[in-house]
A = this chain, B = another copy of it.
Amino acid sequence: MTVRVGVLVSGRGTNLAALLAAEAAGELAPAEIVVVISNKPGVRALEIAADAGKPALVVDHRTAGGREAFEHALLAALAQHGVETVVLAGFMRVLTSTFVSAYPQRIVNTHPALLPAFPGTDGPAQAIAHGVKVAGVTVHFVDTGVDTGPIIAQRAVPVLPGDTAETLHHRIQVEEHRLLPAVVRALAQGRLVCEGRTVAIRGADADQLL
């Protein structure tokens, strides 16, 4: 039994590429990426999806006729492809309960910071400005807040002397591109158990925590 996954994107598609590479390597099963949807036309993520032979759609938030109409259009496109689980991979729109309630504990997001520190835009730049020495990545369930949902998995990386937001972001992405596919796989396997804010991972590998 596969679990049909829709990936929402807004830009360069680096996390999408990591998911597609994991799928090609057989490391995403039972999850299967069945559609990629961007809220912006012309972005690199759409090319990456098409190159991988995936349906690549645009649901433009600027022409959708408001936030609720945008979310209904997104939901309709996902439903058309039989999507059961949604992955936000650099998707830059906050979702309301209209969308979130349609996929209870079936939407995950990745954020390049150790939440609850540095939510919102440009986590790595916030981390550099604050002068932290440890940064990282968080994959979490999506609720209607900004990066506030229950945390599934996190990985820490050091902030090194001379780091810029860019060099730090690159170091975070190395971890992120391993972590996100592992979480999607665990979710598809039904191994994530959410109790309040705590997410337990059944059958977790002691080393990997996933």
Q: Which residues, 151 to 210 on A, are CB-close (under 8 Å) to B?
A: 151-156, 158, 160-161, 196-201, 204, 209
- Does A62 sit within 8 A of B, measured CB to CB? no
Q: How many copies does the complex hold?
A: 2
Question: Is A11 on the interface with B (CB-CB < 8 A)?
Answer: no
Query: Across the interface, which residues of B come within 8 angstroms of A116, CB to CB?
Result: 117-118, 130, 132
Q: Is A115 an interface residue (CB 8 A)?
A: yes
Q: Does A131 contact B (CB under 8 A)?
A: yes
**Size range of the chain A interface in the assembly:** 20 to 34
Cα(A151)–Cα(B129), bound, Å: 11
Which of B129, B153, B155, B158 contacts A197, CB < 8 Å?
A: B129
CB pair B130 A197 closer than 8 Å: yes
Is B150's CB under 8 angstroms from A131's CB? yes
